[in-house]
Amino acid sequence: MNKNSLTLFVLSMIVFVGCSSPLDKTILSPLELEELQAAMEEDTLFGPIYDLVSVARDSVLTKPSDQVTWSELSYKELLDFRRLATDSVFNREASDKSMTRWRKGSYFTALKTDSVAQEWKNKREQWQLVNDPNNFISITPVDIETEYYSYSHGIEKVKVKFKFKPLKGSIEQCQFNYGVFPKLSDIHTLLESSDDLSDRLGIGSLVEDLLKARCIHSNAINQTKYGWYEVPYSYEDIMGGKSIRSLLKGYDLIVDVQSVRVNGATIDGDGFEMPNSIESYLRYRDFSDSSKFESQLLAGSAPLYTDDVALEFLEMEYSDKYELYFDIRDSLLSQRFELASNFYDMMLAHASKVR
């Protein structure tokens, strides 16, 4: 091989080896169709990346000054960024680090926050106990009277007689609901869970939806008194033709006092002022199973609004494991691929504006 041929060969190899891949191009340079096809065949992640870059060129990087910032960002760096972001080993390491940080800080903050919320919950329960209208009067059914149509012997009207006994002095008025349920219906458990659910949802009592018969005694009660009340149509077939004794053999007749009026003031068990953050927290805190709450904490999460309660009552910052995970993950990605990370942040901000 002569000198000229050798020189030409060497130059050709330099050109061949040094020929950059399409992925080495800056994102400001669109790819040819063949280049795009080859890159997508090599890695399926590249298609969405190129689509995102195309949106950026057309809608975001419209000024020369914007383009200067991203002139050093290549398709390869964006692809490497996405590869690392979806790598299972990398994400597992970020998850482990977030759990370590959670256990050193947020776990104890969550425990303190829950103690604060439980104190408020206990205060409300004590207040409701003192202001429960059922503690001011006893109402019990004592008799049933059934009237029949003369021409058909069908039930025309059913009335139930209640005994009213004041427990804490004279009562000017009372409102109460009652319901009739088969003894095997486990209604007592259902009513207790309804009260708990009402508190958690921050809504009016769901008991009223279960005890459908609504009554009012408008006269003053300063000693034991009695009163007759017509039974709702839905209870006529159950109660008609029965005595109280025969009815109670197969059914529970449950009375719930909704309100009483004492010394001109209405007592209905409502009115306790709960801070909004605590109310919201208790709505999502399940007190029925303490082990479930503990297992959630060990897994790195706490009830919603833990951060609000912690900040308001403890002046402490709280983050759950998932927030810590994304913070750590994004920080590690930014350390490795700062420009690519900034590019994705820019496009996320753009997408939020477009929405």
Q: What is the pLDDT of residues 294-303, one digit of tens each?
A: 888 888 889 9
Please check whether residues 64 and 126 belong to one and the same domain: no
Q: How many domains does the chain have?
A: 3
Query: Are residues 220 and 238 both part of a single domain?
Result: yes
In this predicted structure, what is the pLDDT of residue 209?
63
| Neighbouring residues of 61: CB distance < 8 A, sequence distance ≥ 6 | 28, 67, 70
C-alpha radius of gyration, the chain, whole number: 36
Q: Let me know if residue 327 belongs to a domain.
A: no
143 located within any domain: yes
d(CA 193, CA 103): 33
CA–CA gap between residue 341 and residue 330 (Å, rounded): 8
Whole-number mean pLDDT of the chain? 87
Q: Are residues 257 and 156 in the same domain?
A: yes
Tens of pLDDT, residue by residue over 53-90, are 999 988 888 888 877 888 899 999 999 999 999 999 99
pLDDT band, residue 7 (cuts 50/70/90): very low
Task: Point out the least confidently predicted range of 70-74, 140-144, 225-229.
Answer: 70-74
Above 50 in pLDDT, residue 48?
yes
CA nearest neighbour of 270 among 281, 255, 285, 260 = 260
CATH number of 229's domain: 2.60.40
Q: Specify whether 211 is located in the same domain as 110.
A: no
pLDDT at residue 160 is higher than 50: yes
The per-residue pLDDT for range 264-276, each reduced to its tens digit, is: 999 988 888 899 9
Does residue 151 or residue 246 have the better pLDDT? 246
Which residue range(s) make up the domain with 278? 104-130+274-319
pLDDT value at 202 more than 60: no
Strands 225-230 and 137-148 turn out to be unpaired
The set of residues, in sequence order, having a beta carbon less than 8 Å from that of 24 and lying 6+ positions away, is 74, 75, 76
Are residue 227 and residue 301 in the same domain, yes or no?
A: no
The DSSP code sequence of 64-105 is HHHHHHHTT-BHHHHHHHHHHHT-HHHHHHHHHHHHHHIIII
Classify residue 99: in a domain, yes or no: no
Q: Which residue has the higher pLDDT, 130 or 144?
A: 144
pLDDT reported for residue 289:
82
- Copy the structure tokens of residue 319: 């983050």
Write out the E strands in the chain: 137-148, 155-166, 173-182, 213-217, 225-230, 251-262, 265-267
Neighbours of 164 (CB within 10 A): 19
Which candidate, 211, 214, 224, places its Cα nearest to that of 253?
211
Q: Are residues 167 and 214 located together in one domain of the fold?
A: yes
At residue 208, the pLDDT reads 57
- Residues 142, 254, single domain; the answer is yes
Q: What is the pLDDT of residue 194?
A: 57
